[in-house]
Structure 1
Amino acid sequence: MHQQTTKSKKKWPALLGAAVLALASLPALAIQPFTVDYQASYMGMRANGQMSLSAAGENRWRYSLNITNSLASLSQSTVFDEHGGQWRPLSGQDSSKVLVKKTVRNAIYDWGRGVANWTGDVKEGRAGPLRLQAGDMDALLINLALVRDVVAGRPLNYRMVDDGRIKQMTYTIAGREQISVGGRNQQATKVVSTNGSKQTIAWIVDGIPVPARILQRDDGEDAMDLRVQSVR
């Protein structure tokens, strides 16, 4: 059990961040606050999850994800704005706690200087600065962009600047499937992103502001599964 708990600490932020991943535009007025409750499963452990979007000042929004069970907790948040038709991360915080050990990492996206930096429990060589480009997003913000772009029929290509690294993320559409959302069957667009041995699969349902389901696979085995239970 100890090995499984330690492993979850290492993978949860990366998996969630990965889940949930163009330069497409959307007017700021189209952004609406929401709260989404998830049922989570990781390596056989059940947990409760919640994503929310709320106003954080003029033309600023806070997007948050929290997952908890009896052994561990994870919290991620990003503050972003809309600039020139693009969503820009301004700051972010990731924290995880497994039993009594806690890690916290903070991000600052300085668009005036054009760089991103990280502080806190950061791995060696990942504090930055990293040079920013127009259209860059962090891992959490890509969750929103993925839904937006699938519905609009836009390319699902993203440059992710997160955790002191830059990654190119590409999703492909893998057809339509019926999934259960809070006990009701819904038609969803299935999208897939593969990066080496890791694969992220997301199901997008029209009218739900975040992926209705996010499945992370590692070496062909299910590692984490998030399923929407309610939207309010």
Structure 2
Amino acid sequence: MKTFALPLCLVALLCAWTPQARAAALEPFVATYDAWYEGRHAGDATMRVDHLDGSRWEVDLDIRGRRGLVGLARLNMGQSTVFDVSADGERYRPLTQRTVRKALFFGRQIDGVYDWDAGAAQWSGDVSKRRRDPVPLREGDLSALLINLAIIRDAEPGQTLNYRFVDNGRTREHVYRVADEAEIIEVGDLSYSALRVSRVDDGDDETLVWVANGVPTPIRILQRDADGDGVDLRLIEYQGVE
């Protein structure tokens, strides 16, 4: 498989946000992140998007935490979603979903199938009994990983983005608010002009995603609660894959 890397110094210079900026059409890539937990560097992560065939694609996120870290279970996990893309690129529709949690003495795996003909999704494996029942589907439903890709596709200054999360037997309405203006995000020795996209859950939980013009993957993904920063993924580099 042939790959090419975009020099990060060049990427940083090219990422100034323009008012009408939108991400390019979906393309395969591999992105590497530093993983932080509660303010400490705790491991690394890889996000990957591959074109399978026809309109079918796959997105994967693998997070690897260092041994001995408290809360390691949150940082040793993998997720993947196979999905199809409409001809105009405006719809990502999940087909299958998998979550794997890795631990020293035990592991968990949950598999889901989105049956659009039947109009329902259902999960099996290490999923609680109350989440095994079929979940009715609506047009536009997305898995957690697809919401990240949809934000990159949709984010424009000042917009409100509405998505319905359907993942691991749960459904939830997600509302994201895009900042009016870009801000400078420091990633290692580099700076990006990026839009901050934020979602506040019921209570004090918050998810923040920063996206930069022309970059196919989030610059940073931060989940935090009233106690402070939780899982924090910070982009190191990305490569396009041909």
TM-score, structure 1 as length reference: 0.82
RMSD between aligned residues: 2.0
For 1:176, which of 182, 186, 190 is the aligned residue? 182
- For 2:222 and 2:184, the matched residues in 1 are separated by 15
Is the CA contact (8 Å cut-off) linking 1:109 and 1:117 kept in structure 2?
yes
Q: Aligned-pair distance for 1:111?
A: 0.4
Task: Could you tell me which runs of 5 or more consecutive residues in structure 1 were left unpaired when the two chains were aligned.
Answer: 1-25
Matched, 1:202 2:209: yes
Number of corresponding residues: 205
Structure with the larger RCO, 1 or 2 (CA within 8 Å, 6+ apart): 2
Secondary structure of 1:125's partner? helix
- For 1:101 and 1:42, the matched residues in 2 are separated by 22
Choose between structure 1 and 2: higher helix proportion: 1
Residue deviations 1:88-136, cap 9 Å, x none? 0000110011222101000100001110000000012101201001000
For 1:81, which of 84, 102, 115 is the aligned residue? 84
State the match for 2:32 in structure 1.
Answer: 37
State the match for 1:56 in structure 2.
Answer: 52
Q: Aligned-pair distance for 1:86?
A: 1.4
Q: Aligned-pair distance for 1:182?
A: 4.8
Task: Could you tell me which runs of 5 or more consecutive residues in structure 2 were left unpaired when the two chains were aligned.
Answer: 1-21
Is the CA contact (8 Å cut-off) linking 2:26 and 2:216 kept in structure 1?
no
- For 2:65 and 2:189, the matched residues in 1 are separated by 22
Task: Give the counterpart letter for 2:98 in structure 1.
Answer: Q
- Larger displacement relative to structure 2 (157-166 or 40-49): 40-49
State the match for 1:190 in structure 2.
Answer: 196
For 1:225, which of 206, 210, 232 is the aligned residue? 232
Matched, 1:139 2:144: yes
- Larger displacement relative to structure 2 (43-52 or 191-200): 43-52
Task: Give the counterpart letter for 1:55 in structure 2.
Answer: H
For 1:215, which of 217, 222, 232 is the aligned residue? 222
State the match for 2:115 in structure 1.
Answer: 110
State the match for 1:96 in structure 2.
Answer: 101
Matched, 1:157 2:131: no
Moved over 6 A (4+): none
